[in-house]
Amino acid sequence: DIQMTQSPSSLSASVGDRVTITCRTSQGITDELAWYQQKPGTAPKRLIYAASTLQTGVPPRFSGSGSGTEFTLTISSLQPEDFATYYCLQHNDYPWTFGQGTKVEIK
Amino acid sequence: QVQLQQWGAGLLKPSETLSLTCAVYGGSLTGYYWTWIRQPPGKGLEWIGEINYSGKTKYNPSLKSRVTISVDTSQNQFSLSLNSVTAADTAVYYCARISRSVPYLWGQGTLVTVSS
């Protein structure tokens, strides 16, 4: 299985801050990575696919970058509605695997 | 607008079989891959497996001996069966449609609790 190392596991930030979440994979996955946002009691919402393609309807303050084994999700200016848990997902090889999640909390 | 609605038993005893169904409304199963993902309470996401409209499947090896995903195109539904459940299978189970190669459209989730 491809191992996912997502960091940090949690962070505290203020509205307006720039936030960066990293996902590292145990082997190269080209750009076969997606990012999801999940709020309590709801299903995950796709933000980014193909490592850097913004899902239609997602605000442009979200961006993704990376290829190979290191990937980043950046929120350029954190908004109140962005406080949530974020997950990366690799789909380069079966079984698909998720990162452990990053909980973004209000400072 | 395509929507997924899922249902199934929410409380099971150890050794019983988990059965969930996901219905597709406002669209067709045909032409897409469909997946099941679960999330234990307070924990992360785990991919269970996927199926396409013709019944081709892929399963997570960690569950492969116990899991079956099937599709019923006449009912526009797909289903998950997981046998010999234990407390470790307690989770919210999600169905989802795959587009752009990854899950995009999700069901509402079903909490399945395994307890004696």
Please write the tens of the pLDDT for every residue from B55-77: 999 999 999 899 999 999 999 99
Supply the pLDDT for residue B108: 98
Q: Is pLDDT at A7 greater than 90 in this prediction?
A: yes
Give the pLDDT confidence score for residue B19 in this predicted structure: 98
The strand pair at B18-25 and A19-25 is best described as: unpaired
| Measured CA angle at B69 (ends B106, B31), to 5 deg | 60
Residue B42 — very low, low, confident or very high, per pLDDT cuts 50/70/90? Answer: very high
Cα–Cα distance list, B24 to A70, A105, A107, B81, B84 (Å): 35, 35, 41, 18, 27
**Mutation for testing the B interface, residue in A32, A46, A103 having most B CBs under 10 Å:** A46
CA angle centred on B104, ends A43 and A58, rounded to 5°? 85
> What is the sign, positive or negative, of the torsion defined by CA atoms of A18, A79, A39, B37?
negative
pLDDT (0 to 100) of residue A101? 98
Which residue of B44, B61, B100 is in closest CB contact with A95? B61
Q: Considering only CB atoms, which chain B residues are within 8 Å of A32?
A: 101
Chain A residue with CA closest to B4: the answer is: A43
Is the pLDDT confidence value at A94 over 90? yes
What's residue B39's pLDDT? 98
CB contact under 8 A, A44 and B101: no
User: Quick one: closest CA in A to B64, which residue?
Assistant: A95
Residues B68 and B83: their CA atoms lie apart, in Å, by 9
* CB–CB contact A34 B102 (8 Å): yes
Query: pLDDT tens-digit profile of A12-44?
Result: 999 999 999 999 999 999 999 999 999 999 999
Nearest to B58 among A46, A94, A100 (CB): A94
**Model pLDDT, residue B64:** 82
Determine the distance in angstroms separating the CA of A2 from the nearest CA of chain B, rounded to an integer.
12
For the cut 90, the answer to whether the pLDDT of residue A106 exceeds it is no
Q: Mind listing the pLDDT tens digit for each residue in B2-24?
A: 999 999 999 999 999 999 999 99
The pLDDT score that the predictor gives to residue B74 is: 93
Half-sphere exposure of B90 (CA within 13 A, CB side): 14
